[in-house]
Structure 1
Amino acid sequence: MASTQGLKFLADQGVAVTLHPYDYDPNADAVGLAAAAALGLDPALTLKTLMVEVDGMPGCCVLPSDRQLSMKKVAAGFAAKAAAMMPPAKAEKLTGYRVGGISPFGQKRGVPTLFDAASMGAPKVWINAGQRGLLLGIAPTEALRILRARALTLTA
């Protein structure tokens, strides 16, 4: 199994995860939903990682693959005036990951991270491991702790 910066980061923190490879579809309209379908997972517990810019500063948002970010709620969550999606090329350069394989774990430059609260009560969620076609299973409480992240309502 491939090792990624995200998996190395989690191993260094002593966090045990499960790995879930799947056939990545580069033509999928929604990568997170395609991953959930490929693995037979609940899309509400299969989380996508989106990079944002809030008042010009980078941020990371992790949310269920079947939901959409509310930029108004993202801005409020980061105590900012405005939020927008980060351009893909900038997200790749900042994180060290390719779009479709961005993980909140082990990014080249750590940035403030928010999780949507909707799935935080589940015993386990699935998040990209830092490579297209590879998810990791983790307790959401562990993900929040390791990333020093907060859980808020980020979706409309």
Structure 2
Amino acid sequence: MAKKAKKQQAGGTPATVALTAAGADFTVHSYDHDPAHPSYGEEAAEAMGVSPDRVFKTLVADVDGSLTVAVVPVSGSLDLKALAAAVGGKRATMADPALAERTTGYVRGGISPLGQRKKLPTVLDDSARSHETIRVSAGRRGMEVELAPATLAALTGATMAPVGRTSSPSGV
């Protein structure tokens, strides 16, 4: 796959602006967002025809009173205990959505790990290493950026750790 830094025209997001400013290799992918879809991440994977293991969702958690970002595959869920351990904390809970939006500058379903209003500690699930590129939110519902996991980790200062849980087919 040819990867080129895309220059952003009007309509860029803080995430794409940050990627462009860093000179990163990335590709923007857009799709028509359906507000009725029950899962933003699954919708993105389906709409783009990409395996849900390569599309990562950005979640904001509260670890011992500090907001922390977790980036995990949409095919699974976040292991809160593992996230707390990855950042040296004891307990993690999902952050209040309104607080996550205010702190990152993005709306739910469009929170990107890149270009956030306030830089938060970030943990990228180590399953990302098994892919040449992954996709994360570009900062808007219906817009994703594709980039190398190492690029995402470098630009966000992310730690890579096993913080994602895979969903079993039986739902158990």
Report the counterpart of residue 78 of structure 2 in structure 1.
Answer: 69
Q: Name the aligned partner's letter for residue 88 of structure 2.
A: A
Q: Distance in 2 between matches of 1:85 and 1:78?
A: 15
Tell whether 2:106 aligns with 1:97: yes
Which deviations, in whole Å up to 9, do the C-alpha atoms of 1:38-97 show, x marking residues without a partner?
Answer: 010010000000011100101000010011111111111111111011111111000000
Shifted more, 97-106 versus 23-32: the winner is 23-32
Q: Is 1:34 paired with 2:10? A: no
| Off by >4 Å, runs of 4+ in structure 1 | none
- Alignment partners' CA distance in 2, 1:44 and 1:119: 8
1:24 aligns with 2:30: no
Q: CA deviation at 1:16?
A: 2.2
The structure with the largest alpha-carbon Rg is: 2
1:144 to 133, 137, 153: 153
SS at match of 1:33: helix
Count of paired positions: 156
Identity over aligned pairs, percent: 35
One-letter code aligned to 1:21: S
In the other structure, the counterpart of 2:68 is: 59
2:125 corresponds to: 116
* Structure 2 residue runs without a partner (length 5+): 1-8, 166-172
For normalisation by structure 2, the TM-score amounts to 0.88
Which amino acid is the alignment partner of residue 92 of structure 2? Answer: A
- Unmatched tracts of structure 1, length 5 or more: none
Q: Could you tell me the TM-score, scaled by structure 1's length? A: 0.97
Q: In 2, are the aligned partners of 1:52 and 1:61 still within 8 Å (CA)? A: yes
More displaced, 92-101 or 25-34?
25-34
